[in-house]
Amino acid sequence: MSGWKLGIIGGSGLYALDALENPEWVTVASPWGEPSDAVLTGSLAGVDLAFLPRHGRGHRVPPHRLNARANIDVLKRLGCTDVLAVSAVGSLRQDLAPGHFVAVDQFIDRTKGRPSTFFEAGMVAHVPMADPVCARLTGFATTAARAAGAIIHTGATYLAMEGPQFSTRAESRLYQGWGCDVIGMTAMPEAKLAREAELPYALLAMVTDYDCWHDGGDVDVAEIIRVMHANAAVARDTVTALVRALPATRPASPIDTVLDTALITAPDARDPGLLGRLDAIMARVRGG
């Protein structure tokens, strides 16, 4: 296999990959703080993988305390070329039923108070986000999910909320009116940071429940956990199917070089301290 190293960010219910060959949990230091956990490295069908449980093993880290910068940074440091994220979501549509999977292609970010960029004062960059996921990786993942037996929907908008509380009914109905399809607490700013790190990103959402717009009820955590555990087996099979179906040679993505047209701070005005923290994120444009 040429060129692939796939990063997997496992969401609620997906805390490890049992099928990995030569598995090893490795601790990677990041200048952006502590990531959610160590990273499980190994290989599958000749492809190197790096698996990071987003909430940590045992689900220790709540969504509003996730250090998405450190999580993306450590995957970049490990040499990942692409990132597949798996997340549990609530449904804002009747046809997106619990147990179904959704290939997300758009986001509305309603998070607050979460660092959402690597590029701070002293090194400014503006990456494009009109199409926030990698179409080629999303296509591979969608095909793999079907092969794993999932009922999968495509072309969905994900509303990212702050959490850790669930929505009010008024909010849930508002988000429906905005044209959102699923709701979750973790994909932003994760997807933005992956783009800044030049990592093509795809998101498979596991529907665990209907949000509170549905039938006048409220969100039931016990039911979420039940569906989440059932979905996790399909998610693991999807990862296996995806890796086995990847092209023998990794096709280039425009996202691989997105920083070429995003950096705006003049070289002589760049902050050396911040550049030091950006050593992995900017390695390609700084010559390694």
Give catalytic residue positions: 209, 211
In this predicted structure, what is the pLDDT of residue 287? 65
The pLDDT mean for the chain works out to: 93
pLDDT over 70 percentage in the chain: 95
Residue 200 half-sphere exposure, CB side, CA atoms within 13 Å?
21
DSSP characters over 68-99: HHHHHHHHHHTT-SEEEEEEEEEESSTTS-TT
Which CATH code is given to the segment(s) 5-277?
A: 3.40.50.1580
User: What DSSP element (H or E) covers 112?
Assistant: none
The beta-strand segments (E) located in 94-180 are 101-110, 152-161
* DSSP assignment letter at 125: B
pLDDT of residue 1 exceeding 50, the answer is no
In this predicted structure, what is the pLDDT of residue 235? 86
In this predicted structure, what is the pLDDT of residue 269? 97
CA-only gyration radius of the chain, Å:
18
Residue ranges per structural domain of the chain: 5-277
For 181-237, write each residue's pLDDT tens digit: 999 999 999 999 999 999 999 999 999 989 998 876 666 677 777 777 777 788 889
